[in-house]
Amino acid sequence: MKFYFLLIFLLSFLHPIHGQTAFTPENIVITSKKKKKPIFTDKNGVLHVNVPPKDVLNFKALGLVRYSDFGAKGDGKTDDMDAIAAAHAFANKHHLLVRADEGYTYYIGGKERTAIIGTDTDFGSAAFIIDDTKVQNRSASIFIVASSHEAFKLEGITSLRNNQKKIDISLPSSCLITVSNSHQKHYIRFGLNQDNGSKQTDIFVVDKNGNVDMDAPIIWDFDQITEVTALPLDETKLNITGGQFTSIANSAESKYTYYSRNIAIRRSNVVVDGLVHRITGEGEHGAPYGGFITISNCAYVTVKNSILTGHKTYSTIGSAGKSVSMGSYDLQVNRALNVSFVNCSQTNDMEDRTYWGIMSSNYSKNLVYDNCSLSRFDAHKGVANATIRNSNLGHMGINAIGCGLLTVENSTIRGRNLVNLRSDYGSTWQGEIVIRNCVFSPAEVSPTDLSLIGGSNSGQHDFGYTCYLPEKITIENLIIEDYDHPEGYQGPALFKDFNKEMTNNTYQEKFPYITTSQVLLKNVTTTSGKELRISNNMFMFKDVKVSTD
């Protein structure tokens, strides 16, 4: 009887959100009748797949299926998307490996059809041509790596605090928690892409007893909560290996109509290994891409030994009524924790400014680049803790706002700044930056404005939160390659002039910008022989304590 009442109590907190998992898609019906029938799509767009009982037993005995088993031609001309989706749907139902046919080239046309990956998948050396020139739904992914679990709503949680260690809730297992407050706006963007902000959001992991994983802590105070959802973590690792993918780029009007013809990872505990993505057919105009590999609403994902491609940069008219370059990405991370990119590079020159920076992220924690050669690391709407090590970053360098610890080590950075704190979101980093054993090879050297930490904040715009420069900055063993400097060059500055109007005490900030307290410098050298200065704006940084060793 006690157990019964306890169960009723727990269930009162848990409300499933139906449709939040695509592991078993509603638009694919699998049957097992004796008479073999061809795969077909009915008038409602439902894909019907019949696998005779004898074939089911054979596939189970073999432990895998191939796309050709479901009718894929692999000739590079026939649209094989239905066969690919059918193979994965059957494999998901029977827990089988999916293996692409060696030597095949699968053509994927513009019809709206998504293959759900729920089991280990080996693309091998097979090629996939994704034709984006005529698509029914630009937002429909080609593959979704889906969780076998379903998200559910939590009731009874009315507030949260920064660094809170425990939530008063019991769960069936460790869960990814997403919480929001629609009454509080954050990330109220400034500049050519200005907007009215986004609802306050956080994402973190708790165990079944409600203990928060403090490696990715709660970073905001929530005075109100309008929605909380929980998604159980997938505990077994899902592996995706190989694959030679080529996207034939769209030629749509150049405006913010993002294409998502991609591999969307929405499951925790996934490893992508050895994938290659190329792009062809980019012309004079086109719509941007939201990422060929997109990682969202999950945790513990690694992409390794993979090669991506930067997208051509197109321009449009932004929300401020002026021309802007549109971000277009091959990698994107949204609302995800503990995501690593290891030994990844790109096909095109990471110094070529005609291609946009390859990576973007929002609302994420514990992002890692390790042994990567990519054109950019970026955090739009905040990252909590980021590490870049053993890597080379190209013309867009490091762009970030967020909190916690940002570590850059054993790396070469070629952006305009060593670290650029994004001015459109307040150039805020509430925490610490550590840079050690690095080379800063700036994209260009101006006479008066080469700086290690870049950004700007006038103190007149409300971003929805207090903005900070890093409380503490440690720079150890840094070489600044400023040898190709123009006449009149004054040497590099630690800080950019973040506010040219703030030159004395008469300047009043409506929204105060909290500056750095402490800087530790050890073995910082320049190829020009010039000394590292604090800033062009000595008034703004007059209280910064700088220690050298």
Mean pLDDT by 10 residues, the chain (549 residues): 38 42 72 87 92 96 98 98 97 97 98 97 98 97 96 94 96 97 97 95 97 97 97 97 98 97 98 98 97 98 98 94 95 98 97 96 98 97 97 97 98 96 98 98 82 97 98 98 88 96 96 97 96 96 93
Instruction: State the pTM of this model.
Output: 0.94
Is residue 121 a contact partner of residue 84, using CB atoms and an 8 Å limit? Answer: no
Place of tokens 């994902």: 301
Helix (H, G, I), strand (E, B) or coil at 279: strand
In whole angstroms, give the CA distance from residue 281 to residue 237. Answer: 36
pLDDT of residue 23: 64
Ramachandran category for residue 191: left, alpha or beta (phi over 0 → left; psi -120 to 50 → alpha): left
Token pair of 111, please? Answer: 């019809």
Other beta carbons within 10 angstroms of residue 95's beta carbon come to 11
In whole angstroms, give the CA distance from residue 224 to residue 213. Answer: 22
pLDDT of residue 444: 78
One-character DSSP codes across 121-177: EEEEEEEEEEE-SS-S-TT--SEEEE-SS--EEE-S---B-TT--B-S---SS-EEE
Please name which of 488, 463, 473, 466 lies closest in space to residue 518, comparing C-alpha atoms: 473
Please name which of 123, 77, 131, 80 lies closest in space to residue 103, comparing C-alpha atoms: 123
One-character DSSP codes across 398-417: EEE-EEEEEEEES-EE-SSS
CA-based end-to-end distance of the chain:
69
In whole angstroms, give the CA distance from residue 425 to residue 187. Answer: 6
- What dihedral do alpha carbons 179, 182, 183, 187 form, nearest 10°? 90
Place of tokens 């009887």: 1
What letter does residue 94 receive in the DSSP assignment? H
Helix (H, G, I), strand (E, B) or coil at 54: helix
Is residue 180 a contact partner of residue 201, using CB atoms and an 8 Å limit? Answer: yes
In whole angstroms, give the CA distance from residue 43 to residue 516. Answer: 63
Cα–Cα distance list, 359 to 134, 252, 325, 398, 535 (Å): 25, 22, 15, 10, 30
Enumerate the β-bridge partners of residue 495: 453, 535
